């Protein structure tokens, strides 16, 4: 699953699921104390959210099956029933998201597969591509916005290491830190472009470039990649 778009595999798996049938099979799995009734539903292919809830349900079902005492059976039984509900709810949520994406996809699409550089410098940059149209009869209009940011190293706190890290180790840590910043910023940028288009704002007003904003202390936050002003 991309940061904002479901993959084709996830959409296919979700579209094949019937919510009522899934609840029925969850109930059967609880009665059987086995997850076999859920086999073949491709729940693990429905995205990380559903896959995680499915894993939790299997774990709790195993604990319920292995419980011996009445108290333990009651405790694990309550837990696995809650897990079954969360699994069903996760599928409902993801199917709703798929429907929302399909409806919005008739009028706009944001490419969340942002190209990652081979290495990172102090100057981070990436481009988010998108397309839009006013009606389904219109031709698609493509656009892109380049985000830029100069990394500001955070001051080091705590006890200094007993041994000075090697140059290679420092370089590795630097690249890891910059990757984390790049990933957070590119994810946030995709979400903000999506939110802008979802709100019905003018796509033609999206700037071609944007210098990522920092807070009063010069650090990044959740609004750093919001390229428009909330002021009227």
| Sequential DSSP letters for 111-172 | ---PPPPSS--SEEEEEEEEEE-SSTTSPPEEEEEEEEEE--PPPP-SPPPSSPPPHHHHHH
pLDDT value of position 232: 45
Q: Are residues 15 and 31 in the same domain?
A: yes
Domain count, the chain: 2
Q: Are residues 69 and 121 in the same domain?
A: no
Q: Are residues 191 and 120 in the same domain?
A: yes
Q: Are residues 41 and 63 in the same domain?
A: yes
Q: Is residue 231 situated within a structural domain?
A: no
pLDDT value of position 155: 58
C-alpha torsion angle, residues 178, 184, 190, 193 (rounded to 10) = -100
Domain extent, residue 112, equals: 108-211
Whole-number average pLDDT of the chain: 92
Q: Is residue 26 situated within a structural domain?
A: yes
Q: Are residues 67 and 162 in the same domain?
A: no
CA distance 97 to 113: 19
pTM of the entire structure? 0.84
Q: Are residues 97 and 115 in the same domain?
A: no
Q: Is residue 130 situated within a structural domain?
A: yes
Q: Are residues 176 and 199 in the same domain?
A: yes
User: Tens digit of pLDDT for each residue in 121-150?
Assistant: 889 999 999 999 999 999 999 999 999 999
Q: What is the pLDDT along the chain (232 residues), one digit of tens a residue?
A: 678 999 999 999 999 999 999 999 999 999 999 999 999 999 999 999 999 999 999 999 999 999 999 999 999 999 999 999 999 999 999 999 999 999 999 999 999 999 999 999 889 999 999 999 999 999 999 999 999 999 876 655 555 666 777 888 888 888 998 999 999 999 999 999 999 999 999 999 999 999 999 887 778 889 999 999 875 4
Q: Is residue 173 situated within a structural domain?
A: yes
Q: Is residue 221 situated within a structural domain?
A: no
> Do 193 and 206 touch, CB atoms closer than 8 A?
yes
Last residue of a domain, one of 104, 135, 157: 104
């Amino acid at each position: 699953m991309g940061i904002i778009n479901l993959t084709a595999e996830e959409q296919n798996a979700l579209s094949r699921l019937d919510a009522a049938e899934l609840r029925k099979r969850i109930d059967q799995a609880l009665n059987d104390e086995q997850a076999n009734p859920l086999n073949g539903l491709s729940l693990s292919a429905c995205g990380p959210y559903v896959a995680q809830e499915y894993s939790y349900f299997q774990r709790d079902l195993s604990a319920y099956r292995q419980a011996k005492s009445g108290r333990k059976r009651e405790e694990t039984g309550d837990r696995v029933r809650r897990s079954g509900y969360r699994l069903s709810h996760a599928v409902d949520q993801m199917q709703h998201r798929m429907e929302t994406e399909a409806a919005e996809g008739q009028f706009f699409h944001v490419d969340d597969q942002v190209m990652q550089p081979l290495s990172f410098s102090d100057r981070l940059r990436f481009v988010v591509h998108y397309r839009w149209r006013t009606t389904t009869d219109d031709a698609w209009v493509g656009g892109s916005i380049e985000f830029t940011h100069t990394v500001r190293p955070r001051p080091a706190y705590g006890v200094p290491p007993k041994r000075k890290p090697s140059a290679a180790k420092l370089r590795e840590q630097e690249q890891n830190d910059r990757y984390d910043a790049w990933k957070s910023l590119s994810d946030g940028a995709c979400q903000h472009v999506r939110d802008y288009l979802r709100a019905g704002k003018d796509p033609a007003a999206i700037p071609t470039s944007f210098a990522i904003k920092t807070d009063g202390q010069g650090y990044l936050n959740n609004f750093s990649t919001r390229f428009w002003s909330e002021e009227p």
